[in-house]
Structures are given as structure tokens and as C-alpha cells.
């Protein structure tokens, strides 16, 4: 538990620096600041990867079993997703929003009481590994590294959340940029962002990325629940809210197909979707009791 | 006259009915309806998480619950089996089904053209006018395109997995998923059974699925029995790390500069790793099958799935030499005459433990006797202890697994269609598809390729595919 927390301290600083550099690049529009920001985002990603690896080694299971660990996974996935987006589309100014969100997530994780951070043994129902994978890894003596439905379920769900977080950041930028374009303002700090229609398209792409992952997370969770608890769906608040979130993003995707639901309207649905994600992740954990409540 | 009037009324009714059917079909096949249905579903589901599900209305009212009229009218305490929920689900099903039905011919019919053609790119071709058509076709083929339609003014080529059939297919998969849900809703049932060592138990559910009664000759009692042959508990030693409060010490340990790590290892450091129950399925004197059932390792037999859900520890104790035997379960209050306050027995520790050094040891079987959260004694089978001067003897201790069982004919369909949906959806979203509509014009005696490219899927990169196409065109020319 020590090493993962040490890497957390490093990562905390890295994300702060990364967010500041991206904001600096956005405001001052200096290329070298942007390049340094991207490099720091890589360093932060590496450091977050080390948190997850160290925690897996310390706890003996995949590091997704409590609120702190899952937040690290969220930060990792969002950072990785953002870097892919930056690599493909070469828009750095967006990083100010995404890395800002990452840093807020790191502050939240930092402020969690210690009992939410400590690595605890998993109860028997959560100790599940795929036998076929254990059989594959056994000849190499690596069977203890096999994963199971729980790991797959949490991992895919969080990749989905990461896509939605990026889309949320992009939707906020879209709303600001659209207002700036409508008022005819050129240049200024909004001038660093690409055209509003491109941001809208990127936001859609981020949701299109996250949507199948959330679907996979929901289905794999159902498979696991059926396997472990005997019922694939219990209308547990977390399950219900994951479906609510999925419905909101399904509505978003359908709305884009119909004319006139792009731009502002789509951005509002994306923002509503991410608010549902936040409630699904934090609200359900703390407010609504259930099988998934990390905080219980 | 009356007959004419009646016929006219019938005709009016039929016209109105036809108009209603057309309106319903139009609405149900509309994408706007999908958006609104999904939004309404999301709102209703939120409602379902606000009100405590499975509670009694009277109890809710007594506890000062609000919105009583709404709660009563819409069965909000049992929302996910209420008529409102059922109606919403049916509308969702119909919406997807009608959309899929109406779009089937559009999606799967042979493509004749690609709508109106407005070129977005032009490439001056390095070929002669007579060769241009054939050379462009070759270049498209090399770039991975296949010609799918041609008319007098332009041709259409395609590359990758066409997204429209994929979109249609995963919606069809969703219909199958909803049918799976429906099978669960109408036919699934579940129950619990407690097994006793070396005794046979029969599946006897208190209630069955909503429509199971319609099945001819159906009886809820299984014609086989479950026989518990063995039961064991496996523990693991999980020490608690003494975490230094000083940050520098933590950093030093984390970086490997200090080896001063302390582990706290108490009896509470034992955690249950697994429960294992060897169960035989028997019919008469025949054993039909046998296997170990564990947490996450259910037994499937006869359409049922049996899960190891819980373990109940029960004890028999004798007070002094009283012939009357007291029976209790772990964690329950046990009132003993002569002892000041109720006692609690448990947990019972028996089985094996895997120590930190990977040694496996057999635990000494014993139960802890607690009073007000404090340990007052430990008892092994046959052992005695004096509490407040009263002799208490543990006569027997039994760990019995509790199985939950479920009969759910919806699961196979749901899994098959769920996996299908996920695969097709992933191909649709993460794959790529390009459609190139093109025409070759002659300008100043030179052939010019007019092109429009459309794409779908996250991996689709129009710029890259244009570059590839140009590369093949100019490579052929050289």
C-alpha cells in the first residue's frame, strides 16, 4: 500500500503541473508550452500506470475494488483517451479542460478518508477469475495474474466513463466556443480552440467511443452477477443508474442521427449524461445503498 | 337506410382505425420517438431509485414517506414490476421492432445509387481519357474499395463494413435481448434451500414465475434431490499493514530505503477465502451428477442454477447438567438462566487456513462466546466454560450452506443476444466504412476524377483514404 500511495503523491503533482501547462498553452498560445504539457501528460499517465501496478502487487488483485482505486483507473483511462484524441486530432487547447477535470479527480481522491484508500482482501463473491485464462497462464507460472468478470466489468465501465468525461469537457468548450462564434468574436482565448462544429464532432466521437464500453460493462456486470449472485439484474441503484446513463447516451446518439439535434442540444445532452455518470459513480456510492456502494 | 347508415359508420370507423394505425406506425418508426422514449425511461428509472423498492405501502406511509398519492397510483415502491414500467418497456420494444421492420428494405436492398452526387474533391488523372475509367477502378480496388453501384453519371464504391446493416443488426439483437428479459419476467423464479450434512433436499419454491402455471404438466417440485456430501471452509491470513503516519517514512519505505514495515497479525486477520460444498444430485438411489459448489462456482442442473449464497452456523449447548439442549445460531442472542446478559455465539472457526508463508494448516475447531461485543470464552465441541459461575457446554456445532436457486429460461437468449449486440455494436462504432461516389469528367482533353467520400466509424480517416487513393492512382501511372 505504500508504493501506490507514493506514486499517487507524484501523480498528484504531475497532474497539477500538466493542467497548469495546458492552461498556459491555451492562454499564451506558445508551442513549447503545449509540447511540454503533452510530455507531462505522458509522465502523469506513466505515474498513474505505476499506481495501478503497485496497488495490484500490494493487494493481490486487480486494483478496482474501492473508491480510491477506481478513481485512479478513471484518471488513467481519461488521460490515455485524451492523449489518443490529441495524437489523432492535434488539438492541444482541449487539454486545459480535460486535465483540469483530471486534477479535480485527483483532489477528490486525495481528500478521501484513509479507509477508502486501503487495500482490503476481497470477499469470496468478488474473488472470481476466468478459469480458461488461468489455464493459459499456468504453464508460465502466471495464473495468479489472471483476471475475471469483476476486473473486466470494472475496467470496461471505466473506459466508458473516460470517453464520457472527455466528451463532457468538449461539450463545455463547444458551448463557450459557439457563443463566441455567434457573437462574432475572433481570437482571444476561445480562438485557440478549433471551430465549434469540429468540437461537436469530437464530442460525438468521444461518446461513440465510450458507449460500447459502457454497454460491455453493463453486460459483463450482469454476467458476473448471474454467476455470483444468481440473478443477472437486481435493480440495484448502481445497475439502474448505469442503465439511465446508457439511455441518456443512447438518446444522444439517436438525437444526432435526426437533423437539428447537433450542436447546442447535443452538448446539453452530453453534459446531462456526464452529470448522470458523476451521480452513478459518486452519488450512488454515497447516497443510495446497494451492492455496489464503495462507501458502505 | 339503416343498413346504409350502419355501413357508413363501419366505414368511418375503419377509416379512423386505419388512420390511427398509420399514425402509430409513423410515430413508432420515428427516431424522435426513440429519443423521447429513452428520455422518459431514464426519468422513470430515476424515480425507481428514489423510492425504496420492495417496501410495503403502509410501512412507507407510517415512516412519513412523501408523495403518497403518486406512490400508490404508480406502484413506485415496486416500480420495476409495475404496469407503468411494463407499458414503457413494451413501447420501447415496439419502437425498436417497428424501426427495424421499416428500415429492413432500406438497409438490405441492393444499392442502385448513392443519392444526389455533389463532388467534394477533384484529382487530375495521369491517364488517357480512354484508360481513365479502368485505371481508377484498379486504383480503388488496390485501396480496398469495391464497386457496389453504377448509373449513367457516376459510380459508387465502398470499403469496410457497411454501417447501416450493422446498425440494423444490433438493434435486432436488442429486440432479442428484450425478449430474453420478457422470458425472465414471465417465467423466472427463485428460492432458497438450506442443506444439512448427509441429508437430501428437494427444490420446493414458494412461488413460481408469473406464467409458469400455463405450462402443461408443470410441477414446481424437482424430481431430483440435492445431497450434501461434504462442506468445508477455507481461510486466508490477511495481515493489516501498520501504516506510518509520517509522510517521509512512507516515502522511504515506498522507495525501498527503509525496511521498517510492521504487520499486525491477529485472529481477526483470518478472512474467509472460500466455502466449498460437495453436492450430489440424486434420484432414487442413483447419483446423477456430483461436484463442488463454491461462491462463483454454481451448479447447473435440470434448468436450475444453484448458488452457494450463505453459510449458517448453528450450535447446541447444554447449561449445567440440564437435559434440555439449547439451540442457537451464530450472532443470535442466547439467554441463559444465571448469566447476567444475553450471550452470542460465533463465529465458528473450522477448516483450513493458508498462512502468509503459504503453509496450509487445519484450524482448531472452536466458537467464540461474546457478551456485549467482548469475548468471554471459547468453546470446542464437547468443551465447557464457566460464565458467571454457570457451566456451559458446547454439544455440537454445524456449518450448513444455504443455496439460492434460480430457474430462468430467459438467460440463454439474453446471453446469446447480448454478446451478439456487443460484437456488432463494437464493429459499428470502432470499425470503419467509406463510400466513394465518383465520376470521371473530361476537361481540356484531360480526365479529371470527381469524388465524394463519406465515412462512418471511429477508425475512419477520410484524409488518409484520400491519400491512399492518390498514391495508387499515381503509382499506376508511373
Residue B1 has a pLDDT of 58
Closest of A201, A106, A217, A110 to residue A161, by C-alpha? A217
CB contact under 8 A, B429 and A237: no
The pLDDT value given to residue B358: 79
CB contact under 8 A, A247 and B296: no
Instruction: Name every chain B residue with its beta carbon within 8 A of the beta carbon of A205.
Output: 458
CA dist., res. B272 & res. B319, Å (int): 31
Tens of pLDDT, residue by residue over A156-168, are 999 999 999 999 9
Q: Which residue has the cell 484498379?
A: B138
- Are B309 and A121 in contact (CB < 8 Å)? no
Partners of B41 on chain A (C-beta within 8 Å) are 247
Q: Which of B254, B401, B410 to mutate to test the interface with A (most CBs of A within 10 A)?
A: B254
Same domain, yes or no: A167 and A50: no
Q: Which residues of B touch A235 (CB under 8 A)?
A: 48, 53, 80
What single DSSP character describes residue A122? P
Among the partner residues A128, A205, A230, nearest to B190 by beta-carbon distance = A230
- B433-443: strand order across its sheet: B121-124, B446-456, B433-443, B155-160, B146-150
Number of domains observed in the structure of chain A: 2
Which domain range does residue A21 map to? 1-122
Q: Is B272 in Cβ contact with A219 (below 8 Å)?
A: no
Average confidence score pLDDT of chain A: 87
Using CB atoms within 10 Å of the CB of residue A43, give its burial: 0 to 12 exposed, 13 to 18 middle, 19+ buried: middle
pLDDT of residue A295: 44
Residue B55 is predicted with a pLDDT of 77
Encode chain B (478 residues) as per-residue pLDDT tens digits.
566 677 788 888 999 999 999 999 999 988 888 889 999 999 988 888 888 887 788 888 888 888 888 888 888 888 888 888 889 899 999 999 999 998 888 787 755 555 677 888 999 999 888 888 899 999 999 999 998 888 777 888 999 998 889 999 999 999 999 999 999 989 899 899 999 988 999 888 888 888 877 776 777 788 899 999 999 998 888 776 666 677 677 666 666 666 666 666 666 678 888 889 999 999 988 999 999 998 878 898 988 889 888 899 999 999 988 888 999 999 899 998 888 889 999 788 888 888 877 788 888 888 999 998 888 999 999 999 999 889 999 999 988 899 989 999 999 999 999 999 999 999 999 999 999 999 998 888 889 999 999 999 988 988 899 999 999 999 887 7
pLDDT of residue B256: 62
Instruction: Note whether A16 and A147 are same-domain residues.
Output: no
Tell me, yes or no, whether A41 and A73 share the same domain.
yes
Q: Which residues of chain B neighbour A243 with C-beta distances below 8 Å?
A: 45
Span A120-135, mean pLDDT?
A: 77
Using alpha carbons, list the distances in angstroms from residue A251 to A9, A243, A256, B47, B169. Answer: 40, 12, 9, 18, 18
Q: Which of B35, B49, B261 is facing A240, going by the closest CB pair? A: B49
Domain closes at, from A71, A101, A122: A122
Asked if residue A281 and residue A152 are part of one domain, the reply reads yes
Contact B31 A215 (CB under 8 A): no
CA dist list (Å): B16 to B2, B29, B94, B450: 21, 20, 21, 51
Residues forming beta bridges with residue B197, ordered by sequence position? B228
- In terms of domains, do A165 and A107 share one? no
Alpha-carbon distance of B284 to B287, in angstroms, equals: 8
Sign of the torsion angle spanned by Cα atoms A123, A124, A126, A128: positive
From B270, B272, B337, select the one nearest B310 (Cα to Cα): B272
| Res A225: pLDDT | 86
Q: Are A209 and A265 in a shared domain?
A: yes
Q: How many CB pairs under 8 A join A and B?
A: 127
**Residue A248 shares a structural domain with residue A171:** yes
pLDDT score of A274: 94
ipTM confidence score: 0.85
Distance to chain B for A5, nearest Cα, Å: 8
The verdict on A147 and A250 lying in the same domain is yes
* Residues B170, B177 contacting (CB under 8 angstroms): no
Fill in the DSSP letter of residue B323: S
Cα dist from B139 to A6, B151, B154, B157, whole Å:
56, 20, 16, 11
- Does one domain contain both A73 and A163? no
Using an 8 Å CB-CB cutoff, list chain B residues near A9: 251
Q: Would the CB atoms of A121 and B236 count as touching at under 8 Å?
A: yes
Residue B311, classed as helix, strand or coil, is strand
Report the chain A residue with the minimal C-alpha distance to residue B170. Answer: A212
Q: Identify the residue among A225, A247, A275 best suited for mutation to test binding to B, counting B beta carbons within 10 A and taking the highest.
A: A247
When pLDDT is cut at 50, 70 and 90, the band that residue A272 belongs to is very high
Domain end: A69, A102, A122, which one? A122
Q: Cβ contacts (< 8 Å) between B296 and chain A: which residues?
A: 124-125, 127-128, 227-228
Residue A296 has pLDDT above 50, yes or no: no
Domains and CATH numbers, chain B: 2-95 (no CATH), 121-173+417-477 (3.30.310.80), 185-310+404-408 (no CATH), 313-400 (no CATH)
Statement to judge: residues A110 and A48 lie in one domain: yes
Partner-chain contact A6 B251, CB within 8 Å: yes
Tell me: do A138 and A55 sit in the same domain. no
Taking contacts as CB-CB distances below 8 angstroms, the residues of chain B near A118 are 243
What sign results for the dihedral spanned by CA atoms A216, A222, A226, A228?
A: positive
Residues A133 and A51 in one domain: no
Query: Are residues A255 and B49, on separate chains, in Cβ contact within 8 Å?
Result: no
Spell out the residues 6+ positions from residue A157 whose beta carbon is closer than 8 angstroms to its own. A213, A214, A217, A218, A221, A242
Res. A8: pLDDT tops 60: yes
For the cut 50, the answer to whether the pLDDT of residue A153 exceeds it is: yes
**Exposed, middle or buried, A144 (CB in 10 Å: 0-12/13-18/19+)?**
exposed
Window from A169-173, A264-268, B8-12 with minimum mean pLDDT: B8-12
Residue A151 CB: number of other CB atoms within 10 A? Answer: 22
Quick check: A228 and B49 CB within 8 A? Answer: no
What grid cell was written down for B323?
437435559
State which of A87, A122, A157 marks the end of a domain.
A122
A263-279 burial: b if 16+ Cβ within 10 Å, else e = bbebbebbbbbbebbeb
Amino acid at each position: 500500500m505504500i508504493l501506490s500511495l507514493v506514486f499517487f503523491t507524484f501523480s498528484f503533482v504531475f497532474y497539477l503541473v500538466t493542467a497548469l501547462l495546458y492552461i498556459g498553452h491555451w492562454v499564451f498560445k506558445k508551442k513549447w508550452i503545449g509540447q511540454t504539457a503533452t510530455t507531462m501528460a505522458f509522465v502523469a499517465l506513466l505515474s498513474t500506470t505505476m499506481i495501478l501496478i503497485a496497488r495490484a502487487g500490494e493487494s493481490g488483485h486487480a486494483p478496482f475494488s474501492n473508491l480510491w482505486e477506481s478513481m485512479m483507473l478513471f484518471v488513467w483511462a481519461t488521460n490515455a483517451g485524451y492523449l489518443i484524441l490529441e495524437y489523432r486530432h492535434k488539438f492541444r487547447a482541449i487539454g486545459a479542460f480535460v486535465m483540469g477535470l483530471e486534477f479535480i479527480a485527483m483532489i477528490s481522491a486525495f481528500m478521501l478518508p484513509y479507509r477508502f484508500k486501503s487495500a482490503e482482501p476481497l470477499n469470496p463473491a468478488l474473488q472470481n477469475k476466468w478459469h480458461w485464462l488461468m489455464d493459459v497462464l499456468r504453464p508460465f507460472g502466471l495464473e495468479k495474474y489472471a483476471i475475471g468478470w469483476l476486473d473486466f466489468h470494472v475496467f470496461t465501465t471505466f473506459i466508458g466513463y473516460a470517453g464520457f468525461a472527455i466528451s463532457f469537457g468538449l461539450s463545455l468548450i463547444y458551448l463557450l466556443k459557439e457563443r463566441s462564434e455567434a457573437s462574432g468574436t475572433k481570437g482571444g482565448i476561445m480562438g485557440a480552440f478549433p471551430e465549434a462544429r469540429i468540437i461537436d464532432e469530437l464530442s460525438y466521437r468521444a461518446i461513440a467511443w465510450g458507449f460500447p464500453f459502457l454497454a460491455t460493462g453493463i453486460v459483463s456486470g450482469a454476467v458476473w452477477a448471474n454467476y455470483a449472485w444468481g440473478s443477472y439484474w437486481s435493480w440495484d441503484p448502481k445497475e439502474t443508474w448505469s442503465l439511465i446513463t446508457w439511455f441518456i447516451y443512447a438518446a444522444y446518439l439517436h438525437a444526432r442521427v435526426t437533423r437539428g439535434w447537433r450542436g447546442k442540444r447535443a452538448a446539453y445532452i452530453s453534459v446531462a449524461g456526464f452529470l448522470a455518470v458523476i451521480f452513478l459513480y459518486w452519488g450512488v456510492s454515497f447516497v443510495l445503498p446497494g451492492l455496489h456502494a464503495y462507501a458502505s | 337506410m339503416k343498413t346504409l347508415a350502419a355501413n357508413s359508420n363501419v366505414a368511418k370507423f375503419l377509416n379512423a382505425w386505419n388512420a390511427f394505425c398509420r399514425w402509430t406506425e409513423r410515430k413508432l418508426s420515428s427516431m424522435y420517438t426513440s429519443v423521447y422514449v429513452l428520455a422518459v425511461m431514464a426519468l422513470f428509472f430515476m424515480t425507481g431509485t428514489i423510492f425504496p423498492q420492495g417496501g410495503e405501502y403502509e410501512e412507507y406511509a407510517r415512516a412519513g414517506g412523501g408523495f403518497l398519492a403518486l406512490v400508490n397510483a404508480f406502484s413506485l415502491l415496486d416500480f420495476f414490476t409495475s404496469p407503468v414500467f411494463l407499458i414503457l418497456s413494451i413501447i420501447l420494444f415496439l419502437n425498436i421492432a417497428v424501426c427495424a421492420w421499416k428500415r429492413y428494405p432500406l438497409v438490405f436492398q441492393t444499392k442502385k445509387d448513392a443519392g444526389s452526387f455533389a463532388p467534394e474533391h477533384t484529382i487530375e488523372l495521369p491517364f488517357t481519357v480512354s484508360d481513365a475509367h479502368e485505371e481508377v477502378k484498379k486504383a480503388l480496388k488496390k485501396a480496398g474499395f469495391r464497386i457496389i453501384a453504377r448509373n449513367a453519371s457516376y459510380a459508387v464504391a465502398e470499403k469496410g463494413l457497411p454501417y447501416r446493416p450493422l446498425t440494423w443488426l444490433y438493434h435486432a439483437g436488442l429486440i432479442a435481448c428484450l425478449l430474453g428479459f420478457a422470458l425472465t419476467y414471465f417465467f423466472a423464479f427463485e428460492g432458497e434451500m438450506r442443506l444439512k450434512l448427509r441429508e437430501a433436499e428437494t427444490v420446493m419454491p414458494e412461488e413460481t414465475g408469473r406464467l409458469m402455471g400455463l405450462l402443461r404438466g408443470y410441477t414446481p417440485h424437482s424430481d431430483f434431490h440435492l445431497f450434501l456430501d461434504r462442506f468445508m471452509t477455507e481461510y486466508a491470513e490477511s495481515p493489516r499493514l501498520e501504516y506510518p503516519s509520517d509522510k517521509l517514512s512512507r516515502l522511504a519505505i515506498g522507495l525501498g530505503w527503509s525496511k521498517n514495515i510492521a504487520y499486525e497479525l491477529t485472529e481477526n486477520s483470518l478472512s474467509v477465502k472460500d466455502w466449498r460444498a460437495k453436492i450430489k444430485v440424486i434420484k432414487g438411489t442413483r447419483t446423477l451428477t456430483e461436484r463442488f459448489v463454491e461462491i462463483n462456482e454454481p451448479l447447473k442442473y435440470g434448468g436450475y442454477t444453484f448458488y452457494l449464497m450463505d453459510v449458517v452456523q448453528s450450535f447446541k449447548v447444554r447449561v449445567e447438567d440440564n437435559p434440555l439442549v439449547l439451540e442457537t445460531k451464530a450472532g443470535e442472542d442466547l439467554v441463559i438462566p444465571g448469566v447476567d446478559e444475553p450471550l452470542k455465539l460465533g463465529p465458528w472457526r473450522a477448516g483450513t487456513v493458508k498462512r502468509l508463508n503459504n503453509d496450509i494448516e487445519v484450524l482448531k475447531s472452536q466458537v467464540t462466546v461474546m457478551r456485549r461485543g467482548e469475548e468471554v470464552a471459547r468453546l470446542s465441541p464437547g468443551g465447557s466454560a464457566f460464565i458467571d459461575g454457570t457451566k456451559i457446554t458446547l454439544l455440537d456445532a454445524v456449518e450448513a450452506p444455504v443455496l439460492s436457486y434460480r430457474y430462468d429460461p430467459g438467460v440463454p437468449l439474453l446471453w446469446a443476444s447480448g454478446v451478439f449486440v456487443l460484437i456488432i455494436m463494437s464493429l459499428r462504432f470502432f470499425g470503419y466504412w467509406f463510400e466513394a461516389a465518383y465520376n470521371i469528367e473530361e476537361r481540356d482533353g484531360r480526365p479529371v476524377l470527381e469524388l465524394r467520400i463519406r465515412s462512418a466509424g471511429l477508425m475512419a480517416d477520410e484524409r488518409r483514404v484520400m491519400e491512399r487513393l492518390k498514391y495508387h492512382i499515381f503509382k499506376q501511372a508511373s
